[in-house]
Amino acid sequence: MKIIMLGAPGAGKGTQAKQIAEKYSVPHISTGDIFRANIKNGTELGKKAKAYMDQGLLVPDELTCDLVVDRISQADAVNGYVLDGFPRTIPQAEALTSALASRGEKIDFAIDVEVPDENIISRMSGRRACLSCGATYHVEFNPPAKEGICDVCGSRLVLRDDDKPETVQKRLDVYHAQTQPLIDYYKDAGVLRTVDGTQDIQKVFQDIAEILG
């Protein structure tokens, strides 16, 4: 079962991807993990990717696709996989489609975890992090015992810059411009399925499990 997870930053697609991987015994593959693994292992593709990343540049679509195809060719992905964070753009999606087609394969499901922007902004701006021990909280859904203080180590909790409403809105604008077109792309391919990401995490997963069967 070959699955792509779609959804805006903060929609919870990573959490769902992990649960799918666990339930169906397939690897959860995120591009960030692939980059890190290849760079750590000093592979040829990893060296190429690192050269771009060291300059603060985005890794080109073709190279990103090569890294993904290399990863899904490994033994643990023989029964399928969940792709999280790739493809992000139409050129990446097209590159993936043709790479899979050359192997006689195709994506089975593209699952869009749909959450309105305002929900994402309130979700993310409610996050609080402890910079000392890395523990995370949410003012509404998972508050610390004492407001603004970490339960684990007693340090002060902060709202990270990338969780501030204006930063989140910028990330959402980029998502809508670049990644939203993928929804139409996979709809046209007949593999798009949409779930309501505003529900409880377990209910979202239940809905996805019903789609996957």
In a domain, 91, yes or no: yes
pLDDT at 179: 85
What pTM, to 2 d.p., does this model score? 0.84
**The sheet that has 192-196: what strands, in order across it?**
28-30, 81-84, 2-6, 109-114, 192-196
Per the domain annotation, does 195 fall within a domain?
Answer: yes
Domain count, the chain: 1
Amino acid code (one letter) for 163: D
Give the pairing type, strands 136-138 and 81-84. unpaired
* Distance, CA of 7 to CA of 112 (rounded, Å): 5
| 150 is a domain residue | no
Say what the pLDDT of residue 178 is: 85
The CATH number given to whatever domain includes residue 92 is: 3.40.50.300
Q: Is residue 205 part of a domain?
A: yes
Whether the Cβ atoms of residue 67 and residue 31 lie closer than 8 Å to each other: yes
| Residues annotated as catalytic (active site), given as ranges | 13, 88, 127, 160, 171
Buried b (16+ CB within 10 A) or exposed e, 102-113: eeeeebebbbbb
Task: Look at residues 14, 192, 18, 21 and name the one whose alpha carbon lies nearest to residue 86.
Answer: 14
Helices (DSSP H) in the chain: which residue ranges?
A: 13-24, 31-40, 44-54, 61-72, 90-101, 117-125, 165-178, 180-188, 201-212
Token pair listed for 58: 């985005």
Report if residue 53 sits inside a domain: yes
- Please report the pLDDT score of residue 75 as a whole number: 95
- pLDDT value at position 128? 96
- Find the largest Cα–Cα distance for the chain: 57
Spell out the SS3 assignment of 97-131.
Answer: HHHHHCCCCCCCEEEEEECCHHHHHHHHHCEEEEC
Q: Quick check: is 28 in a domain? A: yes
Question: Does residue 161 fall inside a structural domain?
Answer: no
Q: Which domain holds residue 9?
A: 2-115+173-212
Q: Which tokens go with 72?
A: 């899904």
51-89 burial: b if 16+ Cβ within 10 Å, else e: eeeeeeeebebeebbbbbbebbeeeeeeebbbbbbbbbb
Give the mean pLDDT per block of 10 residues along the chain (213 residues).
Answer: 94 93 95 90 93 87 92 94 93 94 96 96 93 93 95 96 91 89 96 96 96 94
Reduce the DSSP state of residue 190 to 3 states and report it: coil
Q: φ, ψ for residue 29 (rounded to 5)?
A: -115, 115
In a domain, 133, yes or no: no
